[in-house]
Structures are given as structure tokens and as C-alpha cells.
């Protein structure tokens, strides 16, 4: 029997501020998709663009937990 493929939930995400280009590290929430983040450098609030579900999906190469769960369900994979 083959092992079931697994999608790993990221623990942290590095988001680059569009105003000052500082890279801000944030913990990825397990129960929600963050709608904004405030930059540690300049304090500018970055909100989710209309084309994305959250700031993690929009401004990083990672996906948020709800998006990962949908993708795993679609592909028949396990999420950890």
C-alpha cells in the first residue's frame, strides 16, 4: 500500500510590505484567513486585494490553512 500524500500547513509566513519592502514574519492562523497585516517597519496596513482570499495567499508563496484544506480535499490529500 502506498503512503498518502500530505500537504503541510506552514507555521510562519514572510510578507513583504509593498510600501517599504520590509519583510515581516507572521504566524499563520489555523482557523482564519488574515484580511490585513500591519508592517513592522513603516506601520502601513496592507489589505487583501479583491483577487485573493487573504494576505498570505496574496503576498507570499504559501497558502493559508482554509485554502490548503480546499486544495487537499480536491486532490484527495491529507493536511497536517
| pLDDT for position 31 | 84
Sequence ranges of the domains in the chain:
6-79
% of the chain beyond a pLDDT of 70: 96
> Is the confidence at residue 1, as pLDDT, over 80?
no
* pTM metric for this prediction: 0.79
Given pLDDT bands bounded at 50, 70 and 90, which one contains residue 21? very high
The Cα 36–Cα 15 span in angstroms is: 11
CB-CB neighbours of 17 under 10 Å: 20
pLDDT tens across 5-18, in order? 888 888 999 999 98
Amino acid at each position: 500500500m502506498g503512503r498518502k500524500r500530505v500537504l503541510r500547513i506552514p507555521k510562519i509566513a514572510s510578507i513583504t510590505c509593498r510600501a517599504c519592502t520590509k519583510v515581516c514574519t507572521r504566524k499563520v492562523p489555523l482557523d482564519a484567513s488574515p484580511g490585513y497585516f500591519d508592517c513592522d517597519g513603516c506601520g502601513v496596513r496592507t489589505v487583501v486585494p479583491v483577487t485573493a482570499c487573504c494576505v498570505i495567499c496574496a503576498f507570499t508563496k504559501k497558502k493559508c490553512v482554509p485554502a490548503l484544506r480546499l486544495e487537499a480535499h480536491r486532490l484527495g490529500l491529507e493536511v497536517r
